[in-house]
Structure 1
């Protein structure tokens, strides 16, 4: 599974990366919008873990670009703020599949990546 982490706090991103790599996932890091867009334009991604509040750029712009460039990729948004705590993020980003706090334990985040990043079965296939 290919994972892109878009997180301005490099230390936090590396904690997530190491945990996911131990589970056999291929993980790339981007520190902001520019790096994320560059990655998405040249590499396939199954799932994106993205901080809602980026130091460089807009997480919603990255999610929008991802939905255009890689429509099958899903986004797990993380945050340490109360923005979108009402669940409205799912209206603003059609590829959002989860919304969790940045302090979520890495093993819980990895379980979500495994769940949401798994290939979907096509119904009616015979």
Structure 2
């Protein structure tokens, strides 16, 4: 899961991003309103952790921007203000959940997973596609009941394909989804080819079909018609 954390408290922001990264997330950080808008306009995120109080603006204004620009991300508001008005306003503007500071990081993780399941997996924690099975809670993948030994990047790549079936995903889009804004400094995206190749090989070795097609000049797509 790719997450943007919008939080101006340096210690809390570091704690959140470090914890979520250890849990397998791709995390990016914005510490103010300007940075947040810039990242939201340039990249796509599965979920956004949004603080209401920022040094140069209000998180609810960012939420309004997200909705007006039709940015399709799950949104978890975090705020030290345990105010009913803040909670109601945030949810009415389109937030998916609200968490009051201070909170435990495992609870934040659980809330993000729940938002992801509701938004992208119809509320389920399992994905079944023909012979491929994914348990998103423990990040286990099997093909024809054979467990796959995937790296975290390969797991994230397979999940990305399965939640974007029959859509062409460019190499740049895949790179940004798996590595975040670190891709800004890369000369090319040739490494995406290697990750796709390794994933396809492992699925086929487990007697699965090779659903991932190369769309020459563009990228890749998972073809459900095979």
Q: TM-score, normalised by structure 1?
A: 0.85
2:75 counterpart residue number: 75
Q: Report which stretch shifted further, 59-68 or 42-51.
A: 59-68
Listed as ranges, the gaps of 5+ residues in structure 1 are 122-126
Q: 1:108 to 1:85 in 2, by over 3 A?
A: farther
The 8 Å contact of residues 2 and 26 in structure 1, kept in 2 or not, is answered as: yes
Q: 1:44 to 1:86 in 2, by over 3 A?
A: closer
2:24 counterpart residue number: 24
Take 1:33 and 1:70, find their aligned partners in 2: how far apart are those partners?
18
Take 1:44 and 1:105, find their aligned partners in 2: how far apart are those partners?
26
For CA contacts below 8 A with separation 6 or more, give which structure has more relative contact order.
Answer: 1
2:96 counterpart residue number: 97
The 8 Å contact of residues 51 and 59 in structure 1, kept in 2 or not, is answered as: yes
Q: 1:86 to 1:29 in 2, by over 3 A?
A: closer
Q: TM-score, normalised by structure 2?
A: 0.49
Q: 1:70 to 1:4 in 2, by over 3 A?
A: farther
Secondary structure in structure 2 of the residue aligned to 1:60:
helix
Residue 70 of structure 1, CA deviation: 4.6
Q: 1:68 to 1:16 in 2, by over 3 A?
A: same
- RMSD of aligned alpha carbons: 1.7
The 8 Å contact of residues 82 and 100 in structure 2, kept in 1 or not, is answered as: no
* Structure whose alpha-carbon radius of gyration is higher: 2
1:106 counterpart residue number: 105
